[in-house]
Amino acid sequence: MDKFRIRWVDSMHTGDDFELILQALEVGLDEGPIISVPRRAARRLGTKAGADYQALVFENPDWLGAHLAEYRDQLDHEIWLGVCEGVPREKRQDATVALWHYAKLINELAGRNRKLPRPGRACSLAPLVYGAVEEPPAECVEAFLEQSGEAFETMASEYKNIPANILISRA
């Protein structure tokens, strides 16, 4: 079984300069994967993407930057960012699959994985997923996620007290 450590950093705003985000993550452009989780209390409704913005996984900071640049006019969120640290290249796919399933769990806890969009919003608000991993790159994974960092406890309490250690097992 693989073990991956997710280090969470203080929340950032989707409109923050990408260089500031990279400094907070303390990673190079080829490191990752990275999970982005919107703060529930800070989400806004209106013309910008609101309640339907989801937790997403990015293979590396480049894809996160592309996502934020693509949707800069539509996003107005505080987000937490977690980075899998020290993942060897040969294990990156497994880490990405584990984080993808973890993001799906967070979205379900927040009530964001509805099968049917709200009437009236279905056509006007497509999911904002450019640059994110939309499907897991493999079907099977067995991984232990260990979470730490400055923002983990705050994030966990907003998402129904997610435990610091989680086993992700999909066969």
Q: What is the residue extent of each domain of the chain?
A: 2-170
The answer to whether 6 and 145 have CB atoms below 8 angstroms apart is: yes
- Note down pLDDT in tens along the chain; length 171 residues: 999 999 999 888 988 888 888 888 888 777 889 999 998 754 444 444 455 689 999 999 999 999 999 988 888 888 899 999 889 999 999 999 999 999 999 988 877 655 545 555 554 456 788 889 999 888 889 999 999 987 899 888 888 778 999 999 988
pLDDT tens-digit profile of 151-164?
899 888 888 778 99
Task: Outline where DSSP puts E strands in 41-164.
Answer: 56-58, 78-85, 141-149
Q: What is the pLDDT of residue 119?
A: 54
Do 159 and 104 form a contact (C-beta atoms < 8 A)? no
Other residues' Cβ atoms within 10 Å of the Cβ of residue 30: 11
